Chain A
């Protein structure tokens, strides 16, 4: 059983909808990540939070809005998405000690998003 839980596992939405992806980690970690995985492309880092503070925003369009209320929870709010945003969205966590991350990432099983 994974220590990182993502919901929903599957989501279909129209371009005008607003939805949110949720991630929860039970590992006592302090850093949390959102990655996007599209077919035949590498995982793309989207956002990183360390101790609830955003440390990375990898030039992600504003239609993706992250929220990290505490070290255990991470959300990705979605609005006015495009069909090309259809992908697997993976949440991960790590210990998050120090200034840079030198530790293993633990991934959730992902939320598969389809934008119609």
Chain B
């Protein structure tokens, strides 16, 4: 089983749509959770951290369910500029700095 698994892509949605990405992780000792965004031929950049209480940043909402080892990202009112690959990231197992990335989910937002 992969350490971090994400929805297979790509997701093709029209502008204004709501889209949800899911992610599961295998290491129950993981401590920190993130969503990163990677544009084509660019480096990954942090989109948002994910907390157990859930957190929102504008059109983006992230949720964490530790019991199910499940992370989600919801994007409302999609924009063309949201087109990118979204990476689920899990970090901080005991005894190290092991930050593991999922394979990513590709999103295409079309006019």
A residues adjacent to B (C-beta < 8 A): 2, 31, 33, 35, 41-43, 45, 48, 50, 55-56, 58, 90, 94, 96, 99-105, 107-110
| Chain B contact residues, majority secondary structure | loop
The answer to whether the Cβ of B22 comes within 8 Å of any Cβ in the partner chain is: no
User: Contact: B97 with A48, CB < 8 Å?
Assistant: yes
User: Contact: A42 with B101, CB < 8 Å?
Assistant: yes
Instruction: Determine which of B36, B49, B100, B103 lies in contact with A41 in the assembled complex, contact meaning CB atoms within 8 Å.
Output: B103
Instruction: State whether A100 and B92 are in contact (beta carbons under 8 Å apart), knowing that A43-B44, A109-B43 are contacts in the complex.
Output: yes
Instruction: Determine which of B31, B45, B97, B103 lies in contact with A55 in the assembled complex, contact meaning CB atoms within 8 Å.
Output: B97
13 example contacts (A-B, Cβ-Cβ < 8 A) are as follows: A45-B101, A90-B44, A99-B95, A100-B91, A100-B93, A100-B96, A101-B32, A101-B99, A102-B91, A102-B92, A105-B36, A108-B43, A110-B43
Residues of B within 8 A of A48 (CB): 96-99
| Chain A contact residues, majority secondary structure | loop
User: Contact: A101 with B91, CB < 8 Å?
Assistant: yes
Instruction: State whether A100 and B43 are in contact (beta carbons under 8 Å apart), knowing that A41-B103, A42-B4, A42-B103 are contacts in the complex.
Output: no
Chain A nearest CB from B37 CB (Å) reads: 11
